[in-house]
Amino acid sequence: MTSVVLTRSQLENEAIKQELNSYNFSFIDLPLIEYKNLEFGSEAVEGFRNVIITSKHAAKMAAFRCNDFNHVRFWVVGNLSASILKAAGLNVECEACDVKDLMQTIPQEIYESCIYLSANEITTEMPDKIKRQIIYNVKYKQQLIDIEAKSLNESIDYILLYSVNAAKTFMKLVIENGLQVKLQNATIITISAGIAKEVLPYFKKIIYCKKGKHTKMIGILTSHAETSRKFKSTH
C-alpha cells in the first residue's frame, strides 16, 4: 500500500483523508502545526478597504465573521482560501499562487488602505505601509513522539508539505531524529517552489505545484502514485 505523510493540522489531515478515501493510500499523521484563534472584532478592519489573507485558516476566520467584511476587497493567496471567502459571499479581488505573486499585483497606491490578517508567525513581511493584524497564533511541532518516529522509520512513499515554516519544522525533526537516510527516497510534494527549496538539499525526488493549489497538489499525488504503481507492476 502507498504510504503518505500528512503534515497539516490534525483537523486538516482528517479532511485530506476523506478527500482521498477512494484511493489505496496508507496515511501517517504528522500534524506539524496547531492553531489558536484570537479575539478580534469589526473595529480591527474599520477604515480599511482592502484585506490581505495568505492562509486558509485566516480565510475561515474572516468567512465566519463575513458581515464584518462586506465593505472590503480581499487579496488572497491560494485558491482554497479564495473559495472559502467567495462561498461566504465576500469580494475576492485577487487570487495569487504565493505572497510574491500577490505583492506584485497589489498597487502600491492602496497600501495604506490595506490590512493584513495573519498568524503570529509569517514567512514574508509586508511593506511598512500595510498594517498587520494578528488574528491567530500558530505553534509548530517541537519534537516527535515515539509512534511518529517509528512510523517515519518505515518505508515512506510521499510527504506533503504546505508551507515554508512547516517544511523547516519537518526538516528540523527529521535531522534531530536521524531520519535523513531513511526518508531520502520518499517523494516530497509541495504547494509551491519556495517550499521545495527548503527540502531540496535533503531529498532526491521533489515535485512542486506551479499554481499553488491544493487540488493540483492532490492531483499530482494521485497521478504520480498511479504511474509508480503501474511501473512497479510491469518490472
Q: pLDDT for 104-149, tens place per residue?
A: 999 999 999 999 999 999 988 999 999 999 999 999 999 999 999 9
- How far apart (Å, rounded) are the C-alpha atoms in residues 33 and 50? 28
Mean pLDDT of 66-87: 93
Specify whether domain 2-32+141-233 bears CATH 3.40.50.10090: yes
- Residue 94, all three cell numbers: 485577487
pLDDT digits (tens, 9 = 90+) for 138-173: 999 999 999 999 999 999 999 999 988 999 999 999
What separation in angstroms does the CA of 82 have from each of 67, 113, 188? 17, 20, 25
Give alpha helix (H) positions in 88-192.
Answer: 99-105, 146-152, 164-176, 180-183
Q: Where in the chain is the domain with CATH 3.40.50.10090?
A: 2-32+141-233, 46-139
pLDDT digits (tens, 9 = 90+) for 167-211: 999 999 999 999 999 999 999 999 988 899 999 999 989 999 887
- How far apart (Å, rounded) are the C-alpha atoms in residues 128 and 136? 21
203-212 long-range contacts, Cβ below 8 Å, gap at least 24?
210/97, 211/79, 211/97, 212/77, 212/78, 212/79, 212/96, 212/97, 212/98, 212/101
Residue 66, classed as helix, strand or coil, is: helix
Residue 79 has pLDDT above 80, yes or no: yes
Specify whether domain 46-139 bears CATH 3.40.50.10090: yes
What pTM, to 2 d.p., does this model score? 0.82
Residue 234 has pLDDT above 80, yes or no: no
Mean pLDDT across the chain: 92
